[in-house]
Amino acid sequence: MQCVLRDKFRLYPNAEDEYDVTLFENSLVFEPCVKGKGLAPYRSRTEVRLEDVIGCHVMRVAENATGLKRSVSYFCVYAYHLVQKKKQNLCHRRQKRTYVFEVDHSGEYEANLAVSRVWQSAFLWLLRGVKPERGGDGQACIPAELPAQRHYLVIVNPKSGPGRSLEIFLHRVRPILAEADISHLLLVTERRNHARDFIKNLQLNQWSGILIISGDGLLYEVYNGLMERPDWELAVKIPIGIIPGGSGNGLARTISHAANEPYVSDPILASTLGIAKGRVAPLDLMKVETPSGPLYSFLNVGWGIMADIDIESEKLRAIGEIRFTLWAFWRVFNLRTYHGRISYLPASEKMKGSGSNGVISRLVTSSRNGPSSAPPRNRSSGADLGDLCGQNGNTRTLNRSKSAPEGHHTGDHTTSRSGMEDGTDMEKAAERALPGGTDDQASVPATGEELPPELELVADSSVGRVPGPEPQEPTLSAPEWFPALTDPVPDDWTVEEGRFIICYSSMVSHLGTNLFIAPESRLDDGIAWLLIIRGEVSRFQVLSYFKAQEDGHHVDLPFVRLIPVRAFRLETFSDSTITVDGEQVKTRILQARVLPSLGRILTF
């Protein structure tokens, strides 16, 4: 392991003993200078993996604090460690730890601050996956400038699921964004399609990504808004983060599952940390053609009992995910079959005019950060960030997240943009609108160890920031192999006709917390997983299917088929519900094809 920085600091607030502190390229290690000294739990060697770290801030003694030396500077490191639950060894979760180091080498504050800045810069660059260059003596050269700040557009649907999305954002997500050095601007939707319309006209290149706090339905709006833009090829590449706030949160669950992150114990924390880490990964989308025009999907196309459950249980939205289970019982009790035809191109057929799995994703790598000469301040490339090797992209600062500890200011001020309110004002209004105002945190679990109130953040406006990466050229080529909706399906497609119970395609492994529909699905496998149950099954068999799908064992049932496909066409012969990403679509025919790796998500 290569050493990046080494020094001696005290740990705040246990500031009695000095520690040897070493920053390596993938961990931070500290131990008391005098063996056996130091305060519990840091009496022996402590190692913090950078994988678990999301940010580093520089702090100073607060204006109104007493009894602390004003010449001291501090830097704090925010980590979320994986811990095992004692009783259930398998079910782990993440727990927050904040490490505050005291820099007191000099009687001059500025000199101590300079040391803190070097450590902060080293941390932030390493967190972006950038290892320091080495001088002739092997010493790491730490850039004086911090990496460009990430700036996210946050869209909240206050009506999703049980209606807690705004509260979730303000109380649980926002503090973590601040720790991770991510600034944001908040849009609270006022109606259906608000986000879709908004996204259609948004100047995208000022954003590093879009965060959705809602169910899958709001992201469906966002993707359709992005694809309706003239510059869709670039727009659709904007990295998307999703925090589960709805009753159907398939993508959030799938992303955590793919990253092997503990989700069930705290879905909000798992998803927010993924966004804070900000690795950008490819996401398959699907183009769904209907007689009234195309739709874009990242989740599923549903027909049969599952689509009925999805739509008919809407009235139970307020009870959250459990609505699907309750309505499943109702629908099995009142079982019906669905008459139609499904035609599909199995994934085993070679894909004409397209790359193989994972190859297209490689074409979307980003350029590295541009030249270090200062570009215009607001120049950034929201739709072009990061690459697929663990480095996330970042944009210039526009405004700052409200910082985690209330009242701590992180620096730059809010910039208004056309058509949007000042982010801070909007958030204040949003907070006031919440029942109980800002202090209503009773129902929100605490994040864990917090910062000492006598320290405050030091603005980094005096430190340089490197520019964000340049926009890249779109790389998507049009497919020639796909039939028109009015043409017969090609010969290499399989056609099945008759009565069905379920005909359902999924792009994700999970459609809900305990709905493991396509166990082998990967976010960029270029595959839609087509689940088919024919009409000739009993109520008991359908029930056993619903039970088995909780952990993915439905694939072993003899009457269930899960077929990997590249494209399919669905025709219904009787009145029945069809859904795309959980939203009802009024049509009797549609056809869909996978657009491999067209979108991009933020992940751990």
Active-site positions read 216
What is the distance between the alpha carbons of residues 142 and 411, in angstroms, rounded to a whole number? 22
Closest to ligand ADP by CB, 218 or 234:
218
Please report whether residue 246 would count as binding ligand ADP according to CB under 6 A.
yes
Q: Does 469 bind ligand ADP (CB under 6 A)?
A: no
Pairing of strands 239-244, 46-49: unpaired
Shorter beta-carbon distance to Mg ion: residue 58 or 595: 595
Alpha helices in 88-129 (DSSP H): 109-127
| Residue 527 makes contact with Mg ion by CB under 5 A | yes
Which C-beta is closer to Mg ion: that of 104 or that of 525? 525
The residues in 54-93 that bind Mg ion, with binding defined as CB under 5 A, are none
**Cα 464 to Cα 373: distance, rounded to the nearest angstrom:** 11
Q: Which two tokens stand for residue 203?
A: 């100047």
The candidate with the shortest Cα–Cα distance to 516, out of 503, 527, 526, 529, is 529
Distances in whole angstroms, Cα of residue 347 to Cα of each of 503, 524, 565, 568, 571: 17, 13, 4, 11, 20
Q: By C-beta, is 358 or 375 nearer to Mg ion?
A: 358
- Convert residues 575-594 into a mask of x (bound to ligand ADP by CB under 6 A) and - (unbound): -------xx-----------
- Using CB atoms within 10 A of its CB, is residue 470 exposed (0-12), middle (13-18) or buried (19+)? middle
Contact track, Mg ion, 278-307, x by CB under 5 A: ------x-----------------------
567 binds Mg ion (CB under 5 A): no
Residue 581 binds to Mg ion (criterion: CB under 5 A) = no
Task: Please give the C-alpha separations between residue 148 and each of 124, 143, 369, 377, 389, in angstroms, as whole numbers.
Answer: 10, 12, 9, 11, 18
Farthest-apart Cα atoms in the chain, separation: 84
Q: By CB under 6 A, which span of 4-12, 37-45, 242-250, 495-503 interacts with ligand ADP?
A: 242-250
Helix (H, G, I), strand (E, B) or coil at 569: strand
Least separation in angstroms between residue 584's CB and ligand ADP is 9
207 neighbors 238 (Cβ within 8 angstroms): yes
Measured CA to CA, the distance from residue 113 to residue 127 in angstroms comes to 21
> At its nearest, how many Å lie between Mg ion and the CB of residue 596?
8
* Interaction residues for ligand ADP, span 168-207 (CB under 6 A): 189-192, 194
Of Mg ion, ligand ADP, none, which one does residue 507 interact with (CB within 5 to 8 Å by kind)? Mg ion
Where b means 16+ CB within 10 Å and e means fewer, 211-230 reads bbbbbbbbbbbbbbbbbbbe
Identify which of residues 378 and 513 has a Cβ nearer to ligand ADP in the complex: 513
Which of ligand ADP, Mg ion, none interacts with 588 (beta carbon under 5 to 8 A by kind)? Answer: none
In the set 217, 282, 340, 469, which binds ligand ADP (CB under 6 A)? Answer: 217
The answer to the question of residue 159 lying near ligand ADP (CB under 6 A) is yes
Residues 435-464 that bind ligand ADP (CB under 6 A): none
x/- map, 313-352, ligand ADP, by CB under 6 A? ----x-----------------------------------
Q: Confirm or reject binding of residue 507 to Mg ion (CB under 5 A).
A: yes
Judge contact between 449 and 175, C-beta under 8 A.
no
In which element (H, E) is residue 24 found?
strand 18-24
- Contact with ligand ADP (CB under 6 A) among 221, 456, 460, 524: 221
| Phi–psi pair at 333, nearest 5 degrees | -60, -40
Interacting residues with Mg ion (CB under 5 A) = 284, 507, 521, 525, 527
Interacting residues with ligand ADP (CB under 6 A) = 157-161, 189-192, 194, 214-218, 221, 246-248, 317, 582-583
